[in-house]
Amino acid sequence: MAAILSCHHSASPATPSKFISPSIPTNRTRFSISHKQFGTLSSSPLPIKCQIQNRQKGKSFSIKECAISIALAVGLVTGVPALDWSSNAYAANPVLPDLSVLISGPPIKDPGALLRYALPINNKAIREVQKPLEDITESLKVAGVKALDSVERNLRQASRALKQGKALIVSGLAESKKDHGVELLGKLEAGMDELQQIVEDRNRDGVAEKQKELLQYVGGVEEDMVDGFPYEVPEEYQSMPLLKGRATVDMKVKFKDNPTLTDCVFRIVLDGYNAPVTAGNFVDLVERHFYDGMEIQRADGFVVQTGDPEGPAEGFIDPSTEKTRTIPLEITVEGEKLPFYGSTLEELGLYKAQTKLPFNAFGTMAMARDEFEDNSASSQIFWLLKESELTPSNSNILDGRYAVFGYVTQNEDFLADLKVGDVIESIQVVSGLENLANPSYKIAG
């Protein structure tokens, strides 16, 4: 069982940061989002906890801030510490598709659920167990113990689906992982019995934690259905660092100017099934300690961004070539076995396509890039914090334009507390490093 990671409160305010606000245009290369730019779930059911003192979570945004966020959404890229108000800044802004195309059903915003549905599996039986367990979250929105009646219905549905579909679930397990999958199914059944007892005891406070544990087991079973990496990456990218599966990293950040927080560890799950080149590039940089000691370079309420190294370069300089290493835009959509490379979905005319890794969750992680060059991403990364009227979950204008490759799954709420000048003390791979193929850091080291 993994250790509990914490966010710690501070006794006194830190020295104010002197970093230039990322919302002030500079003469730096023109990019839409960035500092000089912008551009498997953990096996442990234990949450990473944060300790705070006198912390106010409620925040509001002015009309001006909302307008800025909308503008940023149209052109997330690398290069400027904010919006570029020059006459050329809007030269390549695309025409938005019809709003009816952007609007779809209720979005899934939970990062864990998004990662489960993004797995390359097709097993209806396990999904029929997963869905009612996820629906418990909605049931808990009902006030008081009345919520427990709905929770019990969700649990009955999940238990019935597991009983009726267990044989199909077991048959869907990869042969090499079958024993582990069966073990998880046993824990899932026992956990459902425990949740039933929690409901009967009218212990509303105990439901959410047990639900999280059960969904961890479901996710583990689903991952055990994946037998190896499901496709061949195009030949031109096969020599790049590739994450052929999933990996989990912990990012420890030191707050420099926060009266209530001193540091926090963010857990991030990277999805190489749907973004092997993008996630592989990031893990390779993590193993090079590229981000260790780097400051947060943009934090404007819309995104948090980092990854721009000191000096004139705006990305990672590969020591073997002495040139900036760039990666192609990489986006996987529902119904396709392989990602699309080198073009936005808009450029491909796929306006109605649903991305496998959407910008739905708070803390969605993606690559920043040059506004006018799809294949210019290198090392700059960003996390999406909030939605605007033009970027609602499941129907926003970021999907299909920027490569999502992971989600913050624990402590994501504290991303909103990050400010320019806060320091990434370290990023460490805690699981899944064995899924990294062609690691350049080993060659260099």
Mapped onto helix, strand or coil, the DSSP state of residue 266 is strand
DSSP 45-87: -PPPEE--SS--------HHHHHHHHHHHHT--SS-SS---ST
| C-alpha Rg value of the chain to the nearest Å | 22
State the pLDDT at residue 389: 56
Q: Count H helices, E strands: the chain?
A: 9, 16
According to DSSP, the residues that pair with 44 across neighbouring strands are: none
Please give the sequence-ordered ranges of beta strands (E in DSSP) within 355-414, or none if there are none: 364-367, 381-384, 404-410
φ, ψ of residue 258 in degrees (nearest 5): -135, 120
pTM beyond 0.85: the answer is no
Going through 317-403 in order, the beta strands assigned E by DSSP cover: 317-318, 323-324, 330-331, 340-341, 364-367, 381-384
What burial class does residue 205 get, using C-beta atoms within 10 Å of its C-beta: 0-12 exposed, 13-18 middle, 19+ buried? Answer: exposed
**283 near 347, Cβ under 8 Å?**
no
- Point out the residues of the chain with pLDDT beneath 70: 1-6, 9-106, 387-395, 443-445
Q: Domains in the chain, start-ordered, CATH in brackets?
A: 121-225 (1.20.120.290), 235-437 (2.40.100.10)
Closest C-alpha among 151, 163, 261 to residue 207: 151
Residue 80: its pLDDT value, please? Answer: 37
The burial class, CB within 10 Å (0-12 / 13-18 / 19+), for 347 is middle
User: Between helices 124-139 and 207-223, what is the axis angle to 10°?
Assistant: 160
Q: pLDDT tens digit string along 339-363? A: 999 999 999 999 889 999 999 999 9
List the one residue out of 180, 168, 165 whose CA is nearest residue 219. 180
Return the SS3 of 278: helix
Dihedral sign, Cα of residue 418, residue 424, residue 430, residue 433:
positive
Beta carbons of 307 and 31 less than 8 angstroms apart = no
- Pick left, alpha or beta for residue 153 (phi over 0 → left; psi -120 to 50 → alpha; otherwise beta): alpha
